[in-house]
Amino acid sequence: MFLLLLLSLCALLLEGHAQDRAALWRGNDRAGRCQYTFTVQSPTETSCPQAGGPELEGLKARLSLLEVLVSRLSGGDAGGPQGAGSRGQPELRDALSKAVGERNLLQGEKERLEQELQGLQRRMEEMMRETERLRSRPCPLHTPIVPPSPPVQGGGLLRPAAGSSSMSHLVSRPNRQGDSSSLRDSTWQIGSQGFQELKAEVTEVPAPVGSEDLTGCGDLISVGEPVTHRKADNIEGKYGVWMQDPEAVSPYGPNMIWRIDTVGSDIRKLFGYDDMVQLSKGFPSKVLLLPEQVESTGSTMYRGSLYYQRRRSRTLIRYDLASESTAARRDLPHAGFHGQFPYSWGGYTDIDLSVDEQGLWAVYSTNKAKGAIVISQLDPHSLEVKRSWETQIRKNSVANSFIICGKLYTVASYTAANTMINYMYDTETSQGKPVSIPLKNKYHYNSMIDYNRAQRKLFAWDNFHIVSYDIRLSRQQVN
Ligand code: CA
């Protein structure tokens, strides 16, 4: 039996040898493990073209080169025969890091644009529903007495005040530019049922009787031409906020200008410039790294502190410039954030902080206000809300707002070259009214506008450009 098996094996071997191609190899593979390879000639193919030989050697050489390159890029052996190549490693890393940074910035910008698009789609659907609702109502048989026109905000609708049925019987429709201040349709009278659906639950807290230190205050009557001070150097500065402390505190002087570029996923750099000249030259004298990230363009500067909204939260932070640390933090009660109630341009502009003659303010909205602008005066030390007003202005229907002498002004469009400041709300009387004050968006994408009390100007950030506007108030001196 054993002999028979031996003979069969010999026969097989002889037959394999006769084919002249069978072979067995043994060797270590790339991982160091033993590998056996048994090769038999194919019954249909007598040989592989160029098997082994020069092609295999070429592949081995290229593989070796690739291994060396991978090793360098991954921070491996920097020495070796190609030591000269290691000099290029820092440059490669820098380029890689820069490319990754730019990719992150672009991703952030993409997110913002997607959010803006969603917001616009929501507004469009809302307006279409509103239009259908209005169309379904019969026209009145007689022409109604036209009450004062409601404020019109950049293509949106305003909420009528609760209980004020004499107000806002009219609905305005935007023109193509989104500026609709001159369009009205007096025949569109809203019935009581639909009207109720639009109402915000307004509970306005009355302003205190009398006023404090309003010297030099008055109503805004005109805004000058935009003056450009600086263009941002890179995409991080497409949007941003710039500020000047009207009550500066040592170690920084009253001329100090502050700036935050707000494009990116980790916004924490606060640049300080000694004065406007240094700002226009782009030479900061101070760069502070904030302990927590900044959300959007609503920051402001007051009494030696930066006030800002922490990213993805309704938390307000007071950052003390002198000690370079957080001095106070507090949630702004019920405030929408991170795209819940932004201005019409989006950009997570849910909470807009500013300073005027009467102190520190926050402009935002809440679920209770259903998207209408809420104004709160804040304690600058503790960030507590001292007093609140709920307006009838839908926040996502205006491009931005600013406060001068306790009066909130809204801007109709952030893109139209010639737009309007179209509404004013006075916290002293808790009343609002439409206004028509021309404003120019020179660079067609205004992402921040605030009143600066130190220079009595409007500060704005318009599509990479830091600009200011002179303003005129109705009464420059009261006393
Ligand atoms: Ca603002």
Taking only the tens place, the pLDDT of each residue in 247-297 is: 999 999 999 999 999 998 899 999 999 999 999 999 999 999 999 999 989
Element counts in the chain: helices (H) and strands (E): 5, 23
How remote is the CA of residue 351 from the centroid of ligand 1, in Å?
Answer: 9
Decide if 168 contacts 158 (C-beta within 8 A).
yes
For the ranges 48-57, 93-102, 200-209, the lowest mean pLDDT is seen at 200-209
Place of tokens 């922490």: 310
How remote is the CA of residue 450 from the centroid of ligand 1, in Å?
Answer: 4
DSSP state of 371: T
How remote is the CA of residue 326 from the centroid of ligand 1, in Å?
Answer: 23
How remote is the CA of residue 401 from the centroid of ligand 1, in Å?
Answer: 5
How remote is the CA of residue 191 from the centroid of ligand 1, in Å?
Answer: 35
- Asked whether residue 167 carries a pLDDT value surpassing 70, the answer given is no
373's enclosing H/E stretch is: strand 372-378
Report the alpha-carbon distance of residue 316 to residue 353 in Å, rounded. 9
Decide if 346 contacts 112 (C-beta within 8 A).
yes
Report the alpha-carbon distance of residue 180 to residue 133 in Å, rounded. 20
Tell me, what amino acid is at 287? V
In this structure, which residues have their CB less than 5 angstroms from ion ligand 1?
352, 400, 402, 450
How remote is the CA of residue 402 from the centroid of ligand 1, in Å?
Answer: 5
How remote is the CA of residue 295 from the centroid of ligand 1, in Å?
Answer: 13
Place of tokens 């704005």: 460
How remote is the CA of residue 385 from the centroid of ligand 1, in Å?
Answer: 18
Domains, in order of start, for the chain = 2-42+56-77 (no CATH), 220-473 (2.120.10)
How remote is the CA of residue 160 from the centroid of ligand 1, in Å?
Answer: 23
How remote is the CA of residue 67 from the centroid of ligand 1, in Å?
Answer: 55
Report the alpha-carbon distance of residue 290 to residue 310 in Å, rounded. 10
Alpha helices in 287-413 (DSSP H): none
Average pLDDT over residues 97-107: 80
Apex 76 CA angle, 73 and 81, nearest 5: 90
How remote is the CA of residue 135 from the centroid of ligand 1, in Å?
Answer: 35
How remote is the CA of residue 306 from the centroid of ligand 1, in Å?
Answer: 15
Q: Which two tokens stand for residue 349?
A: 């502009």
pLDDT in tens, 362-411: 999 999 999 999 999 999 999 999 999 999 999 999 999 999 999 999 99
Which pLDDT score is estimated for 337? 95
Tell me, what amino acid is at 153? Q
pTM: 0.60
More confident residue, 15 or 451: 451
pLDDT in tens, 184-212: 333 333 333 333 233 333 333 333 333 33
